[in-house]
Amino acid sequence: MTLRPGQLKVLLHKQSSTHTGDRAFVCSYCSKAFTQKSILRIHMRTHTGEKPYKCSVCDKDFIYRAYLNRHMRGHTGEKPFSCTVCGKSFTEKSSLKVHKRIHTGVRLFACSFCSKSYTLEGNLKIHMRVHTGERPFSCSVCEKTFAEKGNLKRHMATHSDEKPFRCPVCEKNFKTKSDLKHHMRIHIRKTGQAPFSCSVCAKTFTVEYSLKQHMTIHSEQKPFRCSICEKKFRRKCDVKHHMKIHTGQRPYSCSVCSKGYIQKSHLKQHMKTHIGKRLFTCSVCAQNFTTNNKLRLHMTAHTGEKPYGCSLCVKRFTVQGTLKQHMMTHTGEKPFKCDYCSKEFRSQGDLNRHVRTHTGEKPFRCSVCAKNFRVQSDLKRHMKTHTFSCSACAKGFARDRQLKEHMKTHSEDRPFACSFCAKSYSQMGNLRIHMRIHTGERPYRCSVCASDFPQKSSLKRHMSTHTAEKPFKCSVCANDFRIKRELMDHMRTHSKEKPSSCSVCKNEVSE
């Protein structure tokens, strides 16, 4: 193509200005300078609001032709940029570039407060609001603020009666797209035609993401590892939930009794216990339950069904969680460690109960006498003692037979006499223990050093000498003791109490 002298001059000027850095064209609004007049003309549209490029499908306007081209792909479905690793396609080259970081593991944008990093700068900006507390998006109706624009958008639907998302089957309308998705599952279950099916076990799913998550069950791969105990998980969200076990974090708290939970779903189930909402009724005994899972578990008591079998022994269980705990008896795994004495446990519940022996915490209180207990089962046993009360000393018992036996201690009647000495007892059990003094019988043997003991409680106290466990803690100076008696003696050093008197000089002495 032959250029006229004037055109050649302009072209040479453009070319030279890119090398010299000469910016002769200045914006009259913001004083920004440009090397070419055409670039200035495009820039001016940001001030004037001019959008000369219009979409022929939806009449949306754009400043740049490139923006229109990109937008048109949304209508045509064209995705010209494909990932060479997984084959996923994108409408924009920049989106493909960011996507490739998933395969390379590159996370360029790191948080300066915590160790988290992100592939996109925008995601880091949103994350930073967790630390700064910034909530820039405000509701114009109730002034509630949000960290993300999407959350505000969903919230605004609560103020509006508008329901733009319609079910194509029953024509029911919904405020959000997610609500419509959940609703669609009702129709899918009825027809039995879920769109996503597992190629291994033929299980069907309504959402593709759920199928992908399910497929990890069939795979041996567990790419996500706990940084504390190195336990491996199939999903990243499972690691997040697991980490709360180590941190003790329970972010979901009950507004009624302040009880904390790791997961929101657990709190929701718990809340039903306060409002008395029991929706699920047993068809056999008419007992009500707050969740379908609890009802299903209860039904096994009627059917005797134990669907979860151990692969190493013949034992079977009604709950999968119980099977998991049982499997640890074969593997020897004890993932829950005590921070006080390093003792390890198979379950979080066992650890929690053990920790109370160090802290002295007794969260379970009797509603009758206000006595506190470390374990709920101890409280349940104790509550039965209020059923049968002694008229002489007000001591309570769970059974009538126990009360009758106890009443003998107030009576002078001691029908059980020792055949070796003059001692007699109101109860046969007490005589039996006493007889071991004469016979030398010591039926309780230590599994560590083979020492024998006449009473079970003596063996229990002895065992603490091997474990070095000191469960009894002083509330004043935090000293630890192996047995309760040692703690009681120690407590007198704080109270200056001298409970025993000499029979000769009457001076009080410590025992």
Give the 3-state secondary structure of residue 448. coil
What's the rounded Cα separation, in Å, for the pair 502 and 326?
Answer: 57
362 located within any domain: yes
Which residues lie across from 61 on neighbouring strands?
54
Residues 79/86, Cβ–Cβ less than 8 Å: no
110 located within any domain: no
Decide if pLDDT at 510 tops 50.
no
CA distances, 433 to each of 29, 131, 406, 410 (Å): 101, 65, 17, 20
Average pLDDT, integer, range 485-492? 81
**Residue percentage of the chain with pLDDT more than 70:** 88
The more confident residue out of 46 and 394 is: 46
What pLDDT is recorded for position 13? 53
What's the rounded Cα separation, in Å, for the pair 408 and 398?
Answer: 17
The more confident residue out of 411 and 62 is: 62
Q: How confident is the model at residue 503 (pLDDT cuts 50, 70, 90)?
A: very low
243 located within any domain: no
What pLDDT is recorded for position 158? 80
437 located within any domain: yes
Quote the mean pLDDT of the chain.
79
Least confident of 141-155, 204-218, 280-294: 204-218
Average pLDDT, integer, range 417-446? 86
407 located within any domain: yes
136 located within any domain: no
Residue 382 structural domain: 296-493
Question: What secondary structure does DSSP assign to 291-317, as a single string?
Answer: SHHHHHHHHHHHH----EE-SSSS-EE
Average pLDDT, integer, range 411-416? 79
Decide if pLDDT at 392 tops 50.
yes
Q: How confident is the model over 344-377, as pLDDT tens digits?
A: 888 878 888 888 888 778 878 887 777 888 888 8
CA-closest candidate to residue 318, choices 303, 331, 334: 303
What's the rounded Cα separation, in Å, for the pair 482 and 472?
Answer: 6
Q: How confident is the model at residue 425 (pLDDT cuts 50, 70, 90)?
A: confident
What pLDDT is recorded for position 14? 54
Give the 3-state secondary structure of residue 372. strand
468 located within any domain: yes
Average pLDDT, integer, range 59-82? 85
Residues 162/145, Cβ–Cβ less than 8 Å: no
What's the rounded Cα separation, in Å, for the pair 144 and 159?
Answer: 12
Specify the pTM.
0.30
Reading the block at residue 415, the tokens are: 């029908």
Decide if pLDDT at 265 tops 70.
yes
- DSSP designation for 391: T
Average pLDDT, integer, range 52-68? 86
Total structural domains in the chain?
1
Residue 440 belongs to a domain with what CATH number? 3.30.160.60
What's the rounded Cα separation, in Å, for the pair 73 and 90?
Answer: 10
Average pLDDT, integer, range 99-125? 81
What pLDDT is recorded for position 511? 44
What pLDDT is recorded for position 278? 56
What's the rounded Cα separation, in Å, for the pair 476 and 152?
Answer: 52
Least confident of 190-204, 284-298, 354-368: 190-204
Decide if pLDDT at 325 tops 50.
yes
314 located within any domain: yes
What pLDDT is recorded for position 84? 85
